[in-house]
Structure 1
Amino acid sequence: MPKPPLRAAFAALLTLTALGVPPAHADEVTPVAVTVNARAALAAVPETGIGANHAIWDAHLGTDETADLLKDAGTKLLRYPGGSYSDIYHWADHTAPGGYVAPGTDFDTFMRGVRRTGAQAMVTANYGTGTAEEAAAWVRYANVTKGYGVKYWEIGNENYGNGHYGAAWEADEHADKSPAEYARHVVAYSEAMKAVDPTIKIGAVLTTPAGWPDGIVGEGDAGTWNQVVLSAAGSKIDFVILHWYPGALDKAAHIPDMIELTRRQIAEYAGPGSERIGIAMTEFNTGSSSRGTTTQPGALAAADAYATLLAHGVFTVDWWNVHNGIGEVTQVAGHTDYGDFGLLSSGTCTSDGSVCEPPVNTRFAPYYALQMMSRFARPGDRFIRAATDRPEVVAHAVRRPGGELAVLLINTSAETSHPVAIRYSGFTPASGAPTVLTHTNGATAITTSAAGTATGHTLPPLSMTTLVLRPAAAEAGLPGTPGQPAVRDVTDTTAAISWPAAPAAARPIAKYEVYRQNGAISEQLGETSGTSFTARNLKPGTRYTINVIARDSGGGLSRPSPPLTFTTGTPASSSCSVRLTKQTDWASGYVGVLDITNHGAPIDGWTLNFRWPRTWQSLGSGWSATWTQNGTDVRVVNDPGNGSLPTGGSATVGFVGNYSGPNVLPSVFTLNGTLCTTR
């Protein structure tokens, strides 16, 4: 995590052009089409969703003013004692050998601020220079002696940065710095800490998909950091910990794959019952130390990322940091950007004293992003699908328990106001002007008004706007919501889906309808009078997100079930098979080997085709065949010496695959037009 001095990895320059911000067009009047689908449910908004980090080197950590500002922003979780300082901090005597500890930042002072804010605490136990006994004593003091009820406890911070993979920024006094040693201690910490308070939740550090050193297998290790840690400690943890500094302001599109790949790793390696393991993003910042860090572009990126992460089931997103310190000073979108990763000003100056930040606790633009998020998506709301037809405007939406619907609209255009035309599915808004919350470039508050209509609004440049809409009719008498669907027997084209029955209301339930989310559009897969359904005619190698809706005998519809996500495979048998093996990975590319086997009639000359799942993937080079790429399509044609494949015969070819986002591997291959089994 960045902290004074900021790591060079977060100092890359970004311009508004890199943000995807278009130039102004005076004659641009076509409204941006926004689709909001109340039938396509995503994750529920958690109580701890909006979080931030506190650090023991921050002299303002314990002030009432800081606590009150965090409360006003809607902060519901505060993490302590501060990133990498966690691995040198000893709570009992409030020391951090080798680091600076500011006065008034001890644990009790932190907890007083947590309570004043109305938040929960996330405490990081010292792994690098501490012991399980020290951590257990902290739990005893916090929850037995003081009765603080601290629920969430991490074991260390970014411990993969201990030098095992080369780079070393995280303190670690263990002679063995491997993931296996970390996992062994996670087990010991968990057992010691839960012996004191069995109700606490223990978190283990993972690498973030596509973030260094994800994908790398260290010397002597049985697998990647995540594979080793989850395999050895999965039964002893309750959540996993990700950190994300994307280094750019337009990376929210990476989030669905980032979280899906993390869930796949948990399911594959953590053992039985792994579905209980949650995902926490305990450090997040847009990661641009010179563009949009304290100004509106960074705030817009923050709101988009918070909404996307929470919509995909992360139970907390914790901004780095409450106070951080001045960095590179630039001009962004007409305002001074201080290169500060804090929500609030530290009042610090550049080393030569030529530029100083505004007074301590002045709100930076990302503060308003968290505040807007807390007013848009409240605990107990459920995210629903929303999309736009233009990249300049981003949309998110939630449905509230009482029937209201809220839509968050983000205009990233630097100079252009965009009118929007909003279409709703599964929701009819009441007539009249909605409640409108707006934050514009350079504003020092979120304004509230009643303006526009439920279907039309104009978004100022570089703005966040939330529309809160009442339903046209009450939901009384409608069926209850079906329970969490489950899936089994997934093949290349079918999946058996089941769910707990929905509670009936005024009329009996007549049937259940099963829908697939296709962007912000729901496509019905079928219906049934029971609580199970076999979906057919699915596409091989495709990720599906499903919702179930109950319909009563009078045609009344329930709200959609929680989402179910699964991925289809390839045919169990085929005249060909392909095995993709990663030989090495360096967190931005990998060497892949394809073993192609012919199970049918002899082949004289072959062509293998596949497609990169994501636009941020590409072919670097290939060998033992002729490799070409067109868009996301890859074509592999045999060399003269390996074109003959008798029945049972194989060919092996290799390639370098590049990626700049979560690396979802290709899984669908055709050989001379025939869909192969992927092994």
Structure 2
Amino acid sequence: MPFRRRPARRRTDGLRRPLAVMASAALAMAAAIVPLATSAAADAAATGDTTVTVNANAGLGTVTSTALGANTAVWDAYMNDPGVAPLYRAAGIGALRYPGGSYSDLYHWVDNTAPGGYVAPGTDFDSFMGTAKASGAQPILIANYGSGTAQEAADWVRYANITKGYGARYWEIGNELYGNGVYGSGWENDTHADKTPDQYAREVKSYAAAMKAVDPTVKIGAVLTMPGNWPDGSVATGDTGDWNHTVLAAVAHDIDFVSVHWYPNTSDGDQSLAAVRQLPGELHEVRDLVDRYAGADSAHIGIAMTEVNSNSGGGAFTSRPNGLFTAEAMMTALENGVFTVDWWDTHNSAGTISTVGGETDYGDMGMLSNGSCSGGVCEPAVNTPFAPYYGIKTLGALSDPGDSMVASGTSGSEVSAHAVLRSDGDLGVLLLNKSSGTEHTVDLRYLGFTAASGTPEVQRWAPGDDGPVDATGTATADSVTLAPYSITVLTLHPKSGTGSAAATVGAPGTPRTTAVGADTVGLSWPAATGTVDRYEVYEQLGTNIQLLGSSTGTSATLSNLPAGSRHTVEVLARDQAGHLSRPSAPLTFTTSTPDDSTCTVSYQVTSGWGNGFVSNVVVSNVGPADIDGWTLTFDWPSAGQAVSSSWNANVTGDGRHVHVTNTDSNAELAPNGGNSVTFGFVGANDGANPSPTSFTLNGTVCRTIS
């Protein structure tokens, strides 16, 4: 029988001993890492080969109603089949993107045409909205930038939201416009004579103004390249910057979200699974870019990953590895600040036929069959789910909108974990075994959560299962055995009187910085519901959290922070009985560098090509004393960054640490900025390529100049 989650219920009895914390609004860094109510399972003897730790007090944000999404396309004759909407609903899909990738820059909504392309019958906007409504999904609509106008887009908003009352909230301006040929490769239709990012930015401002004049509530999205993926960092002839910096510098105060796509450049399913490790760094860099250009408005700008698939050159599109990739990639994106992840796509067509793990892979990037054939091999009946659909369905079983994603970690590279603290106090844990041939037994450990006695509910999707099946009775709260290439979802109920369900206060709102200095940061946050005794601010350190202090109000100052250091913090509320609320969404910030330093460093990436880059560094001595012989050190923010070759300095690397010394010709740095030393290097990046935040010259932390 299919897995069904028990009805929500709330527990309010029981007490928890409060932590001993400071009662001041000025918060100093604390030394202790606070476990917060370790489960009895943590004391159990280890019997498995892998340990998974879940911290229910380390929040990663709230699951949105649009979290799980899928792309639709006007060339798909089965887009609006009656059987499609129930499949969307059963998987928990809450967003549908239309009219379909690059076709969006051909498509004219008013007459359902795409000159130069094929439009299937019955795929017009109203028909699509019928499916969206039947699915309970929010539409994500792509306004035609390539051959359209701002007026055409505004007319679409008027028809959708004024005439028809569809309440279409999210509107992207075009699809992958960086693929219009400006960087040498062109697949996106763009009829503008000027194809630069500057022109795209100008048009985004025009589209946004026209569309919001019709309906001020619509959310406008601009297209960015994914950091660490081509053409990120590329600068076209005559341009002053790359796509992302140019676009955001112009439109950061006119948009409501940014849209990125992610297709890892891999050759098989296992490589695609491994590539998911790149996502957190790449998405953090997107957020850093938005923060840099939007300033205070950044808090209101979301990140949407509106296309994702494995893009595996070795097949593995409809078979099990891509189903595992689907769950891993989509959940990882959501945990790192994305409000919607939209699978590419619902129906596609058969491609290269292969055998993966003993099953036929049809080379089809869709999650449902369209019944097409390739090389004499035909897909199963139309709308038969492929593995990616089942991957999404496991995520739908893991969480509902409004649940809090929480931190989890694993001791083994072949097992990954994701977790949510549900609104009723239950804990959902998803365990993914990425090994094709090795079974793993997992010991489960919890922080901030105490499981009730009895066995958890279990949903499993393993080889031999016809989709996710109810496997309750195959796991305990302390241990579960994972079949190869499987996904297991556990639902654990809290012991009565424990956990956030016992609290009489809600989660605080997302904290924001009010001031950022070299060693202090001011924070504020929206108040929690209920009568709050105090708020507690924690720093996240993997699956642990470190108490920074407490405040009776909704603001605080963090002190004694290292210059140029990155921190992720959250706020929890305690009620008057000592119960701790669910965590707020996290906030990540980087402290500045000292304004009064005796040295300055300018670090600029002058060109890039996705997996490599060229950087230029300028070092100045602005202090009163002469420097004869210098050493500059810094650390890479991302593990995938490295130096390949250099000039005008001796540059060496040891892991993330970079060590630079002068040459014979540039050892002297005159005082008071009398001269500067410039050196450069070619670097490599596997994933994100964020700039270093702190540089030390002969032991002194310099002021970093952007």
Normalised by the size of structure 2, how large is the TM-score?
0.88
Letter in 1 for 2:691: L
Q: Which moved more, 1:601-610 or 1:393-402?
A: 601-610
Correspondence for 2:686 among 651, 660, 670: 660
User: Aligned-pair distance for 1:481?
Assistant: 2.6
Letter in 2 for 1:417: E
1:360 matched residue in structure 2: 382
User: Aligned-pair distance for 1:408?
Assistant: 0.8
Letter in 2 for 1:220: G
Structure 2 unaligned regions, length at least 5: 1-45, 267-271
2:491 matched residue in structure 1: 468
2:618 matched residue in structure 1: 595
Instruction: Work out whether 1:61 is the aligned partner of 2:75.
Output: no
User: Aligned-pair distance for 1:35?
Assistant: 1.0
> Residues 532 and 138 from structure 1, CA distance in 2 versus in 1: closer, same or farther, beyond 3 angstroms?
closer
Letter in 1 for 2:114: A
CA distance in 2: counterparts of 1:380 and 1:609, whole angstroms: 44
Q: CA deviation digits over 1:182-238, x for unaligned, max 9?
A: 222222222222333332222221111112222223233343222332333333322
Do the aligned partners of 2:48 and 2:443 also contact (CA within 8 Å) in 1?
Answer: no
1:320 matched residue in structure 2: 344
Instruction: Work out whether 1:583 is the aligned partner of 2:601.
Output: no
Correspondence for 1:496 among 519, 522, 533: 522
CA distance in 2: counterparts of 1:651 and 1:233, whole angstroms: 35
2:111 matched residue in structure 1: 93
Instruction: Work out whether 1:422 is the aligned partner of 2:444.
Output: yes
1:9 matched residue in structure 2: none
CA distance in 1: counterparts of 2:47 and 2:425, whole angstroms: 33
Q: Which moved more, 1:600-609 or 1:334-343?
A: 600-609
1:140 matched residue in structure 2: 158
SS at match of 2:185: coil
1:24 matched residue in structure 2: none
SS at match of 1:97: coil
CA distance in 1: counterparts of 2:308 and 2:301, whole angstroms: 20
Q: CA deviation digits over 1:340-381, x for unaligned, max 9?
A: 11101122222xx33222222221111001111111121010
CA distance in 2: counterparts of 1:497 and 1:89, whole angstroms: 45
> Residues 187 and 628 from structure 1, CA distance in 2 versus in 1: closer, same or farther, beyond 3 angstroms?
closer
Q: CA deviation digits over 1:275-309, x for unaligned, max 9?
A: 21211111111221434211111111111111111
CA distance in 2: counterparts of 1:48 and 1:551, whole angstroms: 30
Instruction: Work out whether 1:538 is the aligned partner of 2:561.
Output: yes
Q: Which moved more, 1:402-411 or 1:182-191?
A: 182-191
Do the aligned partners of 1:281 and 1:318 also contact (CA within 8 Å) in 2?
Answer: yes
1:647 matched residue in structure 2: 671
1:617 matched residue in structure 2: 641
State the identity as a percent: 51
Letter in 1 for 2:305: M
Correspondence for 1:604 among 608, 617, 628: 628
User: Aligned-pair distance for 1:108?
Assistant: 1.9
CA distance in 1: counterparts of 2:453 and 2:116, whole angstroms: 62
CA distance in 1: counterparts of 2:619 and 2:556, whole angstroms: 35
Instruction: Work out whether 1:399 is the aligned partner of 2:421.
Output: yes
Correspondence for 2:460 among 430, 438, 450: 438
SS at match of 1:236: coil
SS at match of 1:315: strand
2:193 matched residue in structure 1: 175
CA distance in 2: counterparts of 1:675 and 1:235, whole angstroms: 33
> Residues 68 and 489 from structure 1, CA distance in 2 versus in 1: closer, same or farther, beyond 3 angstroms?
closer
CA distance in 2: counterparts of 1:267 and 1:486, whole angstroms: 11
Correspondence for 1:128 among 118, 143, 146: 146
SS at match of 1:658: strand
2:19 matched residue in structure 1: none
2:506 matched residue in structure 1: 480
Q: Which moved more, 1:296-305 or 1:226-235?
A: 226-235
User: Aligned-pair distance for 1:615?
Assistant: 2.0
User: Aligned-pair distance for 1:96?
Assistant: 1.3
CA distance in 2: counterparts of 1:367 and 1:268, whole angstroms: 37
Do the aligned partners of 2:201 and 2:250 also contact (CA within 8 Å) in 1?
Answer: yes
Do the aligned partners of 1:411 and 1:464 also contact (CA within 8 Å) in 2?
Answer: yes
2:33 matched residue in structure 1: none
CA distance in 1: counterparts of 2:84 and 2:551, whole angstroms: 54
Q: CA deviation digits over 1:468-511, x for unaligned, max 9?
A: 11110243454333332222332333322333444444xx61x3
2:430 matched residue in structure 1: 408
Letter in 2 for 1:356: C
Instruction: Work out whether 1:376 is the aligned partner of 2:376.
Output: no
CA distance in 2: counterparts of 1:444 and 1:463, whole angstroms: 12
1:11 matched residue in structure 2: none
Instruction: Work out whether 1:221 is the aligned partner of 2:245.
Output: no
CA distance in 2: counterparts of 1:133 and 1:528, whole angstroms: 50
User: Aligned-pair distance for 1:410?
Assistant: 0.6
SS at match of 2:73: coil
2:88 matched residue in structure 1: 70
Do the aligned partners of 1:322 and 1:343 also contact (CA within 8 Å) in 2?
Answer: yes
CA distance in 1: counterparts of 2:193 and 2:321, whole angstroms: 44
CA distance in 1: counterparts of 2:409 and 2:155, whole angstroms: 49
> Residues 453 and 621 from structure 1, CA distance in 2 versus in 1: closer, same or farther, beyond 3 angstroms?
same
Aligned residues: 647
SS at match of 2:646: strand
Instruction: Work out whether 1:277 is the aligned partner of 2:295.
Output: no
1:635 matched residue in structure 2: 659
Do the aligned partners of 1:289 and 1:340 also contact (CA within 8 Å) in 2?
Answer: no
Correspondence for 1:230 among 237, 240, 248: 248
CA distance in 1: counterparts of 2:538 and 2:546, whole angstroms: 5
Relative contact order higher in (CA < 8 Å, ≥ 6 apart): 2
User: Aligned-pair distance for 1:668?
Assistant: 2.3
SS at match of 1:577: strand
Correspondence for 2:586 among 538, 563, 579: 563
CA distance in 2: counterparts of 1:241 and 1:513, whole angstroms: 34
Instruction: Work out whether 1:336 is the aligned partner of 2:360.
Output: yes
Instruction: Work out whether 1:149 is the aligned partner of 2:149.
Output: no
Do the aligned partners of 2:279 and 2:687 also contact (CA within 8 Å) in 1?
Answer: no
CA distance in 2: counterparts of 1:116 and 1:176, whole angstroms: 41
Structure 1 unaligned regions, length at least 5: 1-27
User: Aligned-pair distance for 1:331?
Assistant: 1.9
Do the aligned partners of 1:289 and 1:341 also contact (CA within 8 Å) in 2?
Answer: no
Q: CA deviation digits over 1:360-404, x for unaligned, max 9?
A: 222111100111111112101010111111111111111111111
